[in-house]
Amino acid sequence: MIGALARWFYQLLGEGGDAFADMGTWDRQGMPLRSAAELVQGLETTRQGMQAAIASWPQANWQQTYPGEERDESVPISRHWGIWHLNEHDRYQGGEIGITLGMDRLPPPDCKS
């Protein structure tokens, strides 16, 4: 989740700076496993960076588009679509985490705070 969020925001939208560039490689082959503390920090950093970027974009920035994900894709990607796609990705991954916890009869995390 962290790698995809950081990579999309940095490579596609040009946001997040060096921290996002680094975290965008976390899920790539050959990268070290991250500790729980690093994962928590990564989630916090990506969420805070995304929130700050989105809040700072003037209306004109929302009209900006980018080439499709694949080089031969002719439909451009809008910022709206990029943000929605990241949310879809997180929902899917969150569901996988919930199923895995349930299979081991572990309670879901407390998401109220």
**pLDDT tens-place string over residues 8-29:** 889 888 899 999 999 999 999 9
Structure tokens belonging to residue 14: 């040009």
Q: Identify the band that residue 89 occupies on the pLDDT scale cut at 50, 70 and 90.
A: confident
Query: Model-level pTM greater than 0.75?
Result: no
Distance CA 58, CA 63 (A): 10
Q: What is the pLDDT of residue 71?
A: 64
> Where in 5-113 does DSSP place strands (E)?
65-66, 77-78
Tell me the CA distances in angstroms from 103 to 64, 99, 106, 110, 112, one per residue in order: 43, 6, 8, 18, 22
